[in-house]
Structure 1
């Protein structure tokens, strides 16, 4: 019996629609997988203006024998500038693989790829102990979570410079400067910082969290 309102598909059209639906399903699954595997960034990428970069490095009194760790290194401009301007070595750490690729290309174009390296990784899981200078442009909350790690891992005398965000009341900066409406904070690691980190570790807590 033929139903008067039933639509008859031309031969082969049903199979074509089925294949199209399957392709759309597979494409959606691939997008969902890529989304789930992309890094969850604590801090959005906002580049530090070059005059601020220059002053951060000036404040740190960067020398050719320094090793600079830039945490959340973005396009790599801080360590690249340090290598070009001062002959220093640098390590940039960023969670976003796209930024790492961009930074490596920028280093190649600047001719300093032999002096710098860029690591795609979590700065909270990175050994910072070899650094003589640490630079940051993160967030207040991230800085304060990172503070115990800086106190514990960095050597006495290591210079720390942050663009825009401080380290909280428990670690007041030694210097604060304004450059083109941007704030720069400067600290050095002291023996008091190291003692605070040891007390926190002994107590099983996180200093200043």
Structure 2
């Protein structure tokens, strides 16, 4: 058995921000998350949009079965951390990392994604509904180092202008959107980041 490939009961992590948030609320503010994996064919494009490389630490908030973090380590030489609150998915992700031979480069943590310490991340991957992205936005801006990249599948962060977007249609005719943001210097005024005209009344 490879080192680090012992299943730990109660460990939780989804190595691919493959979680989507429903409208259901936990407590007074937090949207409840359910497992909805990112399609395998879109994992590479997400990581390429973030220009992931060997020096990166990739965090997947709501990682599910760990496919994004595992791909970052296996295909790009990065290190990765997956965060998920479901211990079954965390165990599944850990076993998948062992099978992929990257257990020494990835870590899966059973945690609330809204409370996870993201400061070590140079790349954060999201597959959440809009409410979750908006709830996480202030923390990502304040806790990530300038230059860190954030990529999101399907949903943007409303008024926060993305650096780049990617839109394509797969062979089945499904439309896919991906967004990239780069955390700015601490001294950047919030007004320089937000564009209220992106979301006027009546627009999504």
TM-score for both structures, normalised by structure 1: 0.71
* CA distance in structure 1 between the partners assigned to 2:176 and 2:186 by the alignment: 29
Corresponding residue of 1:172: 161
> Which of 78, 82, 86 is the aligned partner of 1:88?
78
Gaps of 5+ in 1: 1-39, 197-209
Matched, 1:188 2:188: no
* In structure 1, distance between residues paired with 2:34 and 2:117: 23
Higher helix share: 1
How large is the RMSD of aligned CA atoms in angstroms?
1.8
Contact 1:152 1:194 in 2 (8 A): no
Contact 1:67/1:130 (<8 A) preserved: yes
Query: Following the alignment from structure 1 to structure 2, what is the Cα–Cα distance between the partners of residues 114 and 134?
Result: 20
Deviating above 6 A after TM superposition, structure 1's stretches of 4 or more consecutive aligned residues are none
Q: Secondary structure at the match of 2:166?
A: strand
More strand by share: 2
TM-score in terms of structure 2 length: 0.73
In the TM superposition, what is the alpha-carbon distance from 1:175 to its structure 2 partner? 1.3
Question: Which has the greater radius of gyration?
Answer: 1
CA distance, structure 1, for counterparts of residue 84 and residue 137 of structure 2: 18
What residue number does 2:58 align with?
Answer: 68
Would you say how many aligned residue pairs link Structure 1 and Structure 2? 157
Q: Is the 8 Å Cα contact of residues 85 and 110 (structure 2) preserved in structure 1? A: yes
Assess if the C-alpha contact under 8 Å between 2:146 and 2:186 holds in 1. no
Matched, 1:143 2:133: yes
1:122–1:194 CA distance, 2 compared to 1 (3 A): farther
> CA separation in 2, counterparts of 1:174 and 1:51?
23
Q: Distance in 2 between matches of 1:112 and 1:194?
A: 37
TM-fit CA distance, 1:85? 0.4
